[in-house]
Chain A
Amino acid sequence: MGKKIILIDLSRCIGCRACEVACEKFNGASKITVFELEDVLTMPLNCRHCEKAPCISICPTDALYTDEDGAVLLSPLKCIGCMMCAIVCPFGIPEFDELNKVMMKCDLCRDRRAMGLLPACVATCPTDALVYGDVNEVLPRKREYVAQKAIILSKEVGDVLLK
C-alpha cells in the first residue's frame, strides 16, 4: 500500500470553511483550519502526515504511530498530554483536548477510509482545492500544474517588464 496524502491547492481555495464544518460533523471537533493571510490568500491546513514525522520521533510515550496508509495516528490511551508533539510540529497541528486531557490530531478520517470513502474534508470541498490520493499519483499532477503556472507567470511578468 502506498502512502496517501491530501494535497492543498492554494489557488483553488475560496475560504468557505466547508471542510472545517464537515470535519467537525464527522469527528466531533474540527481538525482542519482555514488560515487567512490578510485577504490575500486562504489556506486549509490539516495534519500533513509527514513521512519522517518529528512528532513520532519526540513522543516520550510512543503514542504516535503510522498506519498502513502512511497516516500519523495518535493513541489516546498512551498519550499523557505533554504537548511535545505540538512544539515540534512545523504546522502547529496537534491540539490539546481539555475534556479528555490528551492531544488530538487529524487521523486522515480513519473510519471513512475503512469504509472506502474519501476523508470528510476532501469529500466536501466544493472547488476541489483538497485532493486525496496516492502520493505517486497526486504529486506529479501538482508538479505539472506548478510548471504550467510558471510558464503563464513568466509570460505575464515578462510582458509587464518589457512595456
Chain B
Amino acid sequence: MPKIDPKLCIGCRACSNACPSNAIVIKDDLIQGTRSIVLDLSHCIGCRACGEVCIKDAIEFIEEIELVSLSMGNLTEEVTLKLAKCPICGNFSEFTEKQIEEAKKALTDLPGEFIEEIMKYLPLCRKCRRRYLLMNASELSLLKFMLKAF
C-alpha cells in the first residue's frame, strides 16, 4: 500500500496521472490557493505505478496494512500544498510553491545568464509570462530605446 511523504512531495500530479484506478486525486482550490493530493486506499489496486513515476521518490510502500476500518477517513491520506501566487496579477497559478523551488534547484545544465533570465519568469503565471515577453519584444523595446535617446 502506498504512503506519500508530505515533506518530499512537491505536488506535481505525476502519480495521479499514472494511477490506473484513480486512487490518487488532485484537487486545486484556486480561492484558498491550496492543492490537495488525496490518496484513497480503498481504490488502490497495489500496482505501484505511482512509485515508479514519482520524481522525488516521495511514495514508499508498506507491506502490512489493515484495510478494515469503521470510518472512510482512516483509509485516505491527504497532502496539502500551497499554490504559487503570481506577483504581477495576484492570481494563483497552476503550480505549487514547492514545484518552483524544485525547478530552481534542478536547472543547472544551462549557461549562467540563461538561468538568471529564466529565474525572472519562474514565479509568473502563464498569462503574465506572455505579457512580460510582449513588453520586452524587440520592436517595442526599440521604441522605448528611441524615446529615451532623444
Binding site for B on A (CB under 8 A): 10-11, 35, 37, 41, 43, 45, 52, 54, 57-58, 60, 80-84, 86-88, 90-92, 101-102, 146, 149-150, 153-154, 157-158, 161
Q: Counting CB contacts under 8 A, is B71 at the interface?
A: no
Binding site for A on B (CB under 8 A): 12-14, 17-18, 53, 55, 94-95, 99-100, 102-103, 106-111, 114, 117-118, 121-122, 125-127, 129-131, 133-135, 137-140, 142-143, 146-147, 149-150
**Contacts A80-B17, A82-B14; A157 near B129 (Cβ below 8 A):** no
Q: Name 17 A/B residue pairs within 8 A (Cβ), A-sorted.
A: A37-B131, A43-B133, A43-B134, A52-B114, A54-B118, A58-B107, A80-B55, A81-B13, A84-B55, A86-B95, A90-B133, A101-B18, A146-B139, A149-B139, A150-B142, A153-B146, A157-B147
Instruction: Say yes or no: B133 contacts A161, CB within 8 Å.
Output: no
For chains A and B in complex, what number of residue pairs have CB atoms within 8 angstroms? 103
Instruction: Say yes or no: B137 contacts A154, CB within 8 Å.
Output: no
Distance of A88 Cα from B17 Cα, bound (Å):
20
Contact of A91 among B110, B117, B130, B147 (CB under 8 A): B130
Distance of A157 Cα from B18 Cα, bound (Å):
58
Instruction: Say yes or no: A41 contacts B134, CB within 8 Å.
Output: yes
Find chain B residues with CB under 8 A from A91 CB. 129-130, 133
Find chain B residues with CB under 8 A from A149 CB. 139, 142
Distance (whole angstroms) from the CB of B118 to the closest CB of chain A? 6
Instruction: Say yes or no: A83 contacts B142, CB within 8 Å.
Output: no
Q: Looking across the interface, which residue of chain B has its beta carbon closest to that of A9?
A: B139
Find chain B residues with CB under 8 A from A102 CB. 17
**Contacts A37-B131, A43-B134, A88-B103; A153 near B143 (Cβ below 8 A):** yes
Instruction: Say yes or no: A88 contacts B118, CB within 8 Å.
Output: yes
Instruction: Say yes or no: A92 contacts B129, CB within 8 Å.
Output: yes
Q: Looking across the interface, which residue of chain B has its beta carbon closest to that of A87?
A: B103
**Contacts A43-B137, A83-B99, A88-B103; A158 near B150 (Cβ below 8 A):** yes
Find chain A residues with CB under 8 A from B103 CB. 58, 84, 87-88
Distance of A153 Cα from B145 Cα, bound (Å):
11
Distance of A132 Cα from B123 Cα, bound (Å):
32
Find chain B residues with CB under 8 A from A101 CB. 17-18
